[in-house]
Amino acid sequence: MNLLSALSIVCGLMLHVCFSAFNAHYCVPRNTIPYQNGMKLFREDGIFNYSAMLIRDDLGVLLLGAREAIYALDINNISVKKAVVYWRVTEEKQRECTYKGKHAEVECRNYIRTLHSVNDTTLYVCGTNAFSPTCDYMTFANGQLTLKGKPEEGKGKCPFDPFQRYSSLMVGNDLYSATSINFLGSEPVILRSSNLALRTEFKSSWLSEPNFVYMDFVRESFGSPDGDDDKVYLFFSENAMEYDFYSKVAVSRVARVCKGDMGGQRTLQRKWTSFLKARLDCSFPEPSLPPIVQDVFLLKHKDWRKSVFYAVFTPQSSLPQVSAVCAYSVSAIRDIFDEGRFKTPVAVETSHVKWVMYTGEVPVPRPGACINDVARKMGMNRSLDLPDKTLQFIRDRPLMDEAVHPQMGAPLLVKRGALLTRIVVDSVLALDGQTYDVMFVGTENGYIQKAVNYGGEMFIIEEIQVYENAEPISILRLSSRQGQLYAGSEFGAIQMPLSNCSRYKTCVDCILSRDPYCCWDPSSAQCSSVYNLSPSSKTAIQSLKEGDVSQCPQLDPVVAIDLALVPGNNIQLLCQPHSNLAQAHWRFSNQSLHPSNKYYIYDGGLLILNASESDTGVYSCDSIEQINSRTHNRTVGVYHLHLHSEPEVVVYPTPRPTVTKTFIHTLRTAAPEPGSGSGSEDPLSPESHSTSSRVSRLEVAVALLSLLCFSLMGVILWIWIRGHLKCFKFLQSSKDREGRRESADYMHIQNRTSEIKLLGPELGRPCSANNNHSAVDFKGNGEHRFPPMANISSLDGLGYIHDESEI
Ligand SMILES: *[C@@H]1O[C@H](CO)[C@@H](O)[C@H](O)[C@H]1NC(C)=O
Ligand SMILES: *[C@@H]1O[C@H](CO)[C@@H](O)[C@H](O)[C@H]1NC(C)=O
Ligand SMILES: *[C@@H]1O[C@H](CO)[C@@H](O)[C@H](O)[C@H]1NC(C)=O
Ligand SMILES: *[C@@H]1O[C@H](CO)[C@@H](O)[C@H](O)[C@H]1NC(C)=O
Ligand SMILES: *[C@@H]1O[C@H](CO)[C@@H](O)[C@H](O)[C@H]1NC(C)=O
């Protein structure tokens, strides 16, 4: 343990706390869609690890590889199994594997990791086969999946270890793979299996304990003015060689090789002559070690120069639960490789090597370049013709000096909470004639985040829970043609539409969703998919960047609910803001209500404590959402409280005085110091209303650390000013809500004397998997909980606090 990492941990901790206070930076999904039972799901008893997928639109199937099984599923409904073939390890293989010290039931099985199309009818499949990787051809014909039964050596094409990340790609008849070629997993290689097989040099300057993530092909020869070749790009992380750290630090990389590479004649024989790599930069809002690339998706454009790699990053240390998406244009990466400077190793004193920028002369043809017109003019038509000088240079210096920077210089998305795992991106043509790139990002707790970056503004349209249990999403595939997304996890595969506009019932909901797939069609009075618009519906409305609802018809006013008030009782009025980004604002007889020892305002509603006759009247709850500079205000609940005259079913006994006392005491300690008296506060100020009591409690915690934090404020401010993150509009409350949801836990508020847990009536929010009813918890000297309030629908429901005999 060295000073540096200790320091970074301390810094990280403090920044973490400070940022929790600042906290306006992180994206919060506007909507949370809980798991629905109708989800199209595929799983088979006894089969696990559904982590290889291949979409075959032409055959109408999704090929799914799992542990010891391969399925052909109906692409329209993956619950429909069209064919299956099992590929089990033999007893002998399993025994051998166990002798070598591997776990029989976990590691010594055949995990299908590779599925590639060879031609219309033939597929190539590889499995780990009890630490003895094996490949085979497979056909799908006449509704049958058949393995050819002529197993091939899979070493270097598929990992030995089922837990090891790897990547592979079929280009024509050539299989490109990046994995380890030995049992121990210690010999990494980037391999091309073809008539002329090529691989990487076994040198730590080429690959140092890499974790391969993704590979794709870019047809750069197309329209190339300098006769350039096609390229294969590879993304991975590995031990850094460029940093002077005492301990190992990982970095993210992009590397590439040329398709036409044939290796060198004497130097680099049967090795890549075009292997170049560069560091990938994606700066997190909090200072940290370099983030680690977890998955990449290439959004292809007709003009390859405009193609973009989208990459998901997570922190290297487990400390900050933050992930980011950064995008890199193919041309930016290409520029670094084609024109950038190289790094070179220099020996410093005690056999220690430092990598610095190379400033000497670079040989011609340029090291690492594909064979292009420059080389051809020099009489070099193949990499075999390249001079030793060029080859020796690249053999010793595969690393570029400069890092590849993301588009716009900053992440497109930064999200706190459950880490992001996998990404796919779809390009949508919206009604304004522009195309928007919609990211679908899987998380480690079974959600898909659907996000867009509107000119610098990060926006998560919605998060959709696709697995009932919090399972990490281990693979994501997208079919734009089908308009479907497919995901796999340990326990099953699911399918979900890229959009479900019918979820938005009103014009205002439809527009405010700011979903580029959806628009309001006044002719049918429906929120429709932009792809299904009839040509006559020229009047369809969409307002993606602004969320402008002025063209929508007026909403019907909310019907007031009559309630009886029993003096001395606590009364709860429920109010569900219309989105996670909206805040509730309460009014009583048209006066703003503020938290006090009479009113307790929380996410899900309002508590009137120890109600008396003076509390009768009209209460209304407005849901307020800020979209850029626009404020959208909507009344979502109106209650009419009148004095109770006759006994009713909903009336509960008056709470014993002690309850009320504890209650009020707890609340008073939580009440905000400033602002609670002023009647004309900006409802959008993060200090006000429902948030303020929480905020103030946060403040207590923050205050304690503020001294420590103070020294770091400069850093934070600097990051802020950098204007990196345009997510400012997400208000504190939504952030808080998010944090609570994401931790799959309720809010923990510490204030020395008492701790309150609030469970809003947020049906089905992630935290509410087992708590999807409203309740208020008190945790003082023990844990007490109010039982569920009246089980009425979240929007217009209401309930009274029960007498809690435990208190
Ligand atoms: C999908 O297939 C399953 C199994 O056959 C069936 O139960 C389900 O209704 C189908 N879903 C749809 C939407 O067609
Ligand atoms: C597809 O590829 C396989 C394996 O290379 C080959 O045997 C088969 O003839 C090919 N089929 C067609 C239709 O090209
Ligand atoms: C496969 O799934 C099983 C069951 O959940 C799990 O124990 C195992 O770790 C998984 N293996 C891999 C390689 O993901
Ligand atoms: C390279 O190709 C050109 C045209 O295809 C040919 O004229 C030339 O002889 C070739 N040179 C070598 C060294 O093979
Ligand atoms: C779309 O949303 C509606 C309304 O919530 C729901 O009933 C329907 O099942 C959803 N469709 C799909 C395919 O998820």
Q: Do residues 195 and 275 touch, judged by C-beta distance below 8 A?
A: no
Candidate of 59, 122, 138, 150 to mutate for ligand 2, largest count of ligand atoms within 8 Å of Cβ: 122
Token pair for residue 355?
Answer: 């990598």
Bond before 365 cis per omega within 30 degrees: yes
Distance 27 CA to ligand 5 centre (A): 25
Residue 581 phi, psi (nearest 5): -90, -5
The whole-angstrom separation of Cα 590 and Cα 638 is 11
Distance 63 CA to ligand 1 centre (A): 18
State the ligand closest to the CA atom of 462: 5
Is the pLDDT reported for residue 795 higher than 60?
Answer: no
Q: Pick the range with the lowest mean pLDDT from 386-390, 458-462, 463-467, 717-721.
A: 717-721
Looking from the CA of residue 38, the nearest atom of ligand 5 is 9
Q: Do residues 30 and 513 touch, judged by C-beta distance below 8 A?
A: yes
Token pair for residue 707?
Answer: 């001294």
The whole-angstrom separation of Cα 284 and Cα 755 is 32
At residue 645, the pLDDT reads 73
Is the pLDDT reported for residue 533 higher than 60?
Answer: yes
Strands 31-33 and 457-465: parallel
CA distances from 370 to 38, 231, 336, 377, 389 (A): 51, 9, 14, 13, 15
Residue 166 CB–ligand 3 contact under 6 Å? no
Candidate of 372, 381, 382, 384 to mutate for ligand 4, largest count of ligand atoms within 8 Å of Cβ: 381
At residue 416, the pLDDT reads 92
Distance 549 CA to ligand 4 centre (A): 65
Close Cβ partners of 126 (under 8 Å, ≥ 6 residues apart): 112, 113, 114, 133, 134, 135, 136, 154, 157, 158, 168
Residue 557 CB–ligand 5 contact under 6 Å? no
Mean pLDDT to the nearest integer, 78-105: 95
Distance 39 CA to ligand 1 centre (A): 9
Candidate of 500, 501, 504, 515 to mutate for ligand 5, largest count of ligand atoms within 8 Å of Cβ: 500
Token pair for residue 396?
Answer: 């010793």
Mind listing the pLDDT tens digit for each residue in 402-449?
A: 999 999 999 999 999 999 999 999 999 999 999 999 999 999 999 999
Quick one: three-class SS letters along 623-658? EEEEECCEEEEEEEEEEEEEECCCCCCCCCCCCCHH
Output 134 or 702, whichever has higher pLDDT.
134
The whole-angstrom separation of Cα 189 and Cα 170 is 16
- Name the band, by pLDDT with cuts 50, 70 and 90, for residue 537: low
Distance 451 CA to ligand 1 centre (A): 28
Is the pLDDT reported for residue 498 higher than 70?
Answer: yes
Q: Do residues 609 and 570 touch, judged by C-beta distance below 8 A?
A: yes
- Name the band, by pLDDT with cuts 50, 70 and 90, for residue 757: very low
> Could you tell me where the beta strands, DSSP code E, fall in 23-91?
31-33, 40-42, 52-56, 61-66, 69-74, 81-86
Quick one: three-class SS letters along 444-511? CCCEEEEEEEECCEEEEEEEEECCCCCCCCCEEEEECCCCEEEEECCCCEEEEECCCHHHCCCHHHHH
Distance 176 CA to ligand 2 centre (A): 19
CB atoms within 10 A of CB 97: 23
The whole-angstrom separation of Cα 649 and Cα 229 is 79
At residue 25, the pLDDT reads 53
Q: Pick the range with the lowest mean pLDDT from 269-278, 452-461, 730-739.
A: 730-739
Is the pLDDT reported for residue 705 higher than 70?
Answer: no
Mind listing the pLDDT tens digit for each residue in 598-631?
A: 899 888 889 999 888 889 999 999 999 988 888 9
Distance 306 CA to ligand 2 centre (A): 34
The whole-angstrom separation of Cα 610 and Cα 599 is 10
At residue 724, the pLDDT reads 38
H/E element, 622: strand 617-627
Mind listing the pLDDT tens digit for each residue in 320-341?
A: 789 999 999 999 999 999 999 9
Q: Give me the helix-helix angle, 689-721 and 657-670, nearest 10°.
A: 20
Q: Do residues 511 and 548 touch, judged by C-beta distance below 8 A?
A: yes
Confirm whether pTM is higher than 0.75.
yes
With CA atoms as reference, report the closest residue to 743 among 314, 321, 451. 321
Close Cβ partners of 445 (under 8 Å, ≥ 6 residues apart): 418, 470, 471, 472, 742, 744, 766
The whole-angstrom separation of Cα 235 and Cα 539 is 44
Q: By percentage, how much of the chain surpasses pLDDT 70?
A: 76
Distance 351 CA to ligand 2 centre (A): 54
- Name the band, by pLDDT with cuts 50, 70 and 90, for residue 730: very low
Output 771 or 217, whichever has higher pLDDT.
217
The single-letter code of the amino acid at 368 is G
State the ligand closest to the CA atom of 379: 4
CA distances from 363 to 117, 382, 384, 621, 691 (A): 40, 17, 16, 72, 63
Residue 777 CB–ligand 3 contact under 6 Å? no
The whole-angstrom separation of Cα 77 and Cα 278 is 41
With CA atoms as reference, report the closest residue to 692 among 664, 677, 671. 671
- Name the band, by pLDDT with cuts 50, 70 and 90, for residue 284: confident
Close Cβ partners of 457 (under 8 Å, ≥ 6 residues apart): 545, 628, 726, 727, 729
Quick one: three-class SS letters along 583-599? EEEEEECCEECCCCCCE
Q: Residue 199 has what DSSP assignment?
A: B
Candidate of 44, 62, 78, 79 to mutate for ligand 1, largest count of ligand atoms within 8 Å of Cβ: 79
Mind listing the pLDDT tens digit for each residue in 5-49?
A: 443 443 443 343 333 333 345 789 999 999 998 889 999 999 999
Residue 524 CB–ligand 1 contact under 6 Å? no
